C-alpha cells in the first residue's frame, strides 16, 4: 500500500488551489472538508461518514434488469436497489469496453486522460493504468476509510498498477479480462494462465465458483469493518463470458431462445449475489449508513465467446465495442435510504466519471486535485428538474469517436458489432437526433452539415486538449 503516493498525487497543486490550507496535512484537509459539507452538517451529531459500495457489472445489456425494461429476466436484487434509490435512464459508461470504462469510473476522468484508451492486456506482467492516476480507492483511503477491491480488475498486472498500489487496503480477484469461474484460468489468448489473487499474491481455489467467492470476500470485508466507514468496490465478472450460470437458473430459463437462455441464467446468478449482499448490509444494520452505486461497464457482448449475443440493448442500436447507444448507455442506480430519494427515476444525462465527485460530495471527503471530467450528480439525484451537469459528452474507442451535445450525437468512424457492422463502417460520419430517433436508425449528416461541423469541431478541440492533459 503506497500511502506516499496518496500524499504526492493528492496534494498536487495545493498551493494554487487551496491558498491558506496548503500547509495542512492530507488528513487535516479531509477533516476540514468533512465538517464544511452542508449535507453532512445537517445530519445528527457525531454521525459517521457513510459507507460506500460500488457494484460494477460486466457486459450487462442496456435494459437487462426488470427495473430497466426486461420482461423475461428475474432480477430482484437490482430491482431492490432501484426501489431504495434513484434509477438513471440516460446513464453512460466511459467507454464501450472493459478497461477504459473501469478507468473512467475509478478516476473520474475520460479514459484517454486516465491513460487507458483501450483494453489493458490480460498477459501477466503487463502494465496498465498509469500509477500517477488517482483512484476512488485512494480518495477514500486518504479520508480514513477501510478500502477493498473484490472481483475483476483489468487495469494492470504489475505491482504499481494492481489494486493494493491503487488505493485498496485489501484486494481479491482476477487481474485480467475474464476467467473460467471454476478453474480461475484465462484461456482466450496465449497459453492458459491461472489468474486469482489476494493482495498481490496468487492463490488457489480450484473448483470453487468465482461469483460465490466474490460474495464471501465482500461480506467478510463488510463484517470486519462494520464499525468504521468503508469503501468496497465490487467489480463483478458477470454476465461476461463464459456463460456459467447456476444450474437452477439454467433450468428456470430453459424455454428462452438460445443464447438468451444462457445469458439470462448468468444475469440472475449475478443478481442473486447483489441481493444477498444487500441482505448482509441489512443484517448488520448498515442499510441507512451505506451508499450503494450500481452500473454496468458497457453494453452486452456479441462476441463468438458470448455465443454471439444473449444480452439486449432494447430500443438502442449497438452493443459492446460500439459507440452507438447500445454500447455505452447502461443501467445505473444509486441508493442511500433515508438520505436520498427512493423509487425515483432521473432522465438527465449522466456519466460514469460523475460517481467520483458525487460520492466525494455525499461523503464529505476531498476529491483528487487532478482535473476531473466528472461532475457531481447530487442536484440531479435530489431533483428531477435539475439540469444535467453535462451539455457535451465525449467518447473514443480505437479509431471511433462520438460527441453528444444536447440531443445531437455525432459518431466518427462508427462501428456496430454484429450483422450491421459493415453498413455502419461505410459511413465515416453519422449524425443522430436522439430526441426523435432513439434507435439511431437514420443518418442526418447530409441534412445538417452545420451541426456536423460544430460537433466535429467540439470533438477535435476536446481531443487536442485531452491528448495534452494526461
Q: The pTM is what?
A: 0.89
For residue 2, give the nearest of 135, 173, 175 by alpha carbon: 135
The verdict on whether omega for the bond into residue 210 sits within 30 degrees of 0, i.e. cis, is: no
> Residue 171 forms beta bridges with which residues?
149
pLDDT band at 423 (very low <50, low <70, confident <90, very high): low
What is the pLDDT, as a whole number, of residue 425? 59
Over residues 52-82, the pLDDT tens digits come to 999 999 999 999 999 999 999 999 999 999 9
Mean pLDDT of the chain: 90
The verdict on whether omega for the bond into residue 315 sits within 30 degrees of 0, i.e. cis, is: no
Residue 19 pLDDT > 80: no
Over residues 450-463, the pLDDT tens digits come to 999 999 999 999 99
What is the pLDDT, as a whole number, of residue 30? 37
Residue 34 pLDDT > 70: no
Grid cell locating 415: 462501428
Residue % of the chain over a pLDDT of 90: 84
What is the pLDDT, as a whole number, of residue 125? 74
Rounded mean pLDDT, 84-111: 98
Over residues 285-330, the pLDDT tens digits come to 999 999 999 999 999 999 999 999 999 999 999 999 999 999 999 9
Residue 204 pLDDT > 70: yes
Residue 228 pLDDT > 90: yes
What is the pLDDT, as a whole number, of residue 47? 77
Residue 419 pLDDT > 60: no
Please report, for residues 65, 298, 327, 375, the alpha-carbon distance to residue 62 in angstroms, rounded to integers and kept in the order given: 9, 8, 8, 22
Amino acid at each position: 500500500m503506497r500511502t506516499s503516493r496518496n500524499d504526492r498525487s493528492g496534494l498536487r497543486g495545493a498551493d494554487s488551489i487551496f491558498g491558506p490550507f496548503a500547509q495542512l496535512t492530507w488528513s487535516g484537509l479531509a477533516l476540514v472538508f468533512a465538517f464544511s459539507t452542508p449535507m453532512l452538517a445537517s445530519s445528527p451529531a457525531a454521525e459517521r461518514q457513510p459507507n460506500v459500495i460500488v457494484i460494477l457489472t460486466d457486459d450487462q445489456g442496456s435494459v437487462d434488469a426488470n427495473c430497466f425494461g426486461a420482461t423475461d429476466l428475474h432480477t430482484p436484487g437490482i430491482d431492490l436497489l432501484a426501489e431504495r434509490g434513484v434509477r438513471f435512464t440516460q446513464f453512460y459508461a466511459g467507454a464501450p469496453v472493459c478497461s477504459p470504462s473501469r478507468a473512467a469510473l475509478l478516476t473520474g476522468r475520460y479514459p484517454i486522460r486516465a491513460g487507458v484508451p483501450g483494453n489493458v492486456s490480460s498477459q501477466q506482467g503487463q502494465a496498465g493504468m498509469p500509477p500517477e492516476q488517482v483512484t476512488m480507492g485512494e480518495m477514500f483511503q486518504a479520508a480514513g476509510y477501510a478500502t477493498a477491491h473484490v472481483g475483476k480488475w483489468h487495469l494492470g498486472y504489475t505491482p504499481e498498477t494492481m489494486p493494493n498500489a491503487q488505493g485498496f487496503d485489501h484486494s481479491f480477484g482476477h487481474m485480467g479480462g475474464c476467467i473460467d469461474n471454476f478453474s480461475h484460468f484465462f484461456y482466450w489468448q496465449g497459453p492458459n494462465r491461472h489468474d486469482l489473487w489476494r493482495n498481490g499474491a496468487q492463490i488457489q481455489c480450484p473448483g470453487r465458483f468465482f461469483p460465490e467467492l466474490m460474495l464471501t470476500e465482500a461480506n467478510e470485508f463488510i463484517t470486519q469493518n462494520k464499525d468504521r466507514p468503508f469503501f468496497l468496490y465490487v467489480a463483478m465478472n458477470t454476465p461476461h463470458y463464459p456463460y456459467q450460470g447456476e444450474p437452477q437458473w439454467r433450468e428456470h430459463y430453459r424455454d428462452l431462445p438460445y443464447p438468451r437462455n444462457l445469458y439470462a441464467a448468468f444475469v440472475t446468478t449475478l443478481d442473486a449475489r447483489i441481493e444477498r449482499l444487500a441482505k448482509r448490509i441489512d443484517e448488520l444494520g448498515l442499510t441507512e449508513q451505506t451508499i450503494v452505486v450500481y452500473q454496468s461497464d458497457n453494453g452486452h457482448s456479441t462476441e463468438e465467446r458470448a455465443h454471439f449475443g444473449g444480452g439486449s440493448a432494447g430500443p438502442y442500436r449497438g452493443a459492446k465495442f460500439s459507440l452507438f447507444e447500445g454500447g455505452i448507455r447502461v443501467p445505473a442506480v444509486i441508493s442511500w435510504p433515508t438520505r436520498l430519494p427512493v423509487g425515483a427515476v432521473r432522465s438527465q444525462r449522466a456519466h460514469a466519471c460523475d460517481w467520483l465527485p458525487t460520492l466525494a460530495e455525499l461523503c464529505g471527503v476531498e476529491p483528487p486535485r487532478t482535473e476531473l471530467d466528472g461532475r457531481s450528480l447530487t442536484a440531479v439525484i435530489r431533483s428531477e428538474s435539475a439540469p444535467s451537469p453535462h451539455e457535451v459528452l465525449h467518447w473514443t474507442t480505437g479509431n471511433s469517436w462520438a460527441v453528444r451535445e444536447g440531443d445531437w450525437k455525432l459518431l466518427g468512424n462508427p462501428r456496430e458489432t454484429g450483422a450491421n457492422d459493415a453498413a455502419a463502417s461505410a459511413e465515416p460520419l453519422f449524425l443522430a437526433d436522439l430526441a426523435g430517433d432513439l434507435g439511431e436508425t437514420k443518418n442526418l449528416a447530409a441534412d445538417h452539415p452545420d451541426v456536423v461541423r460544430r460537433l466535429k469541431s467540439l470533438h477535435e478541440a476536446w481531443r487536442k486538449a485531452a491528448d495534452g492533459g494526461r
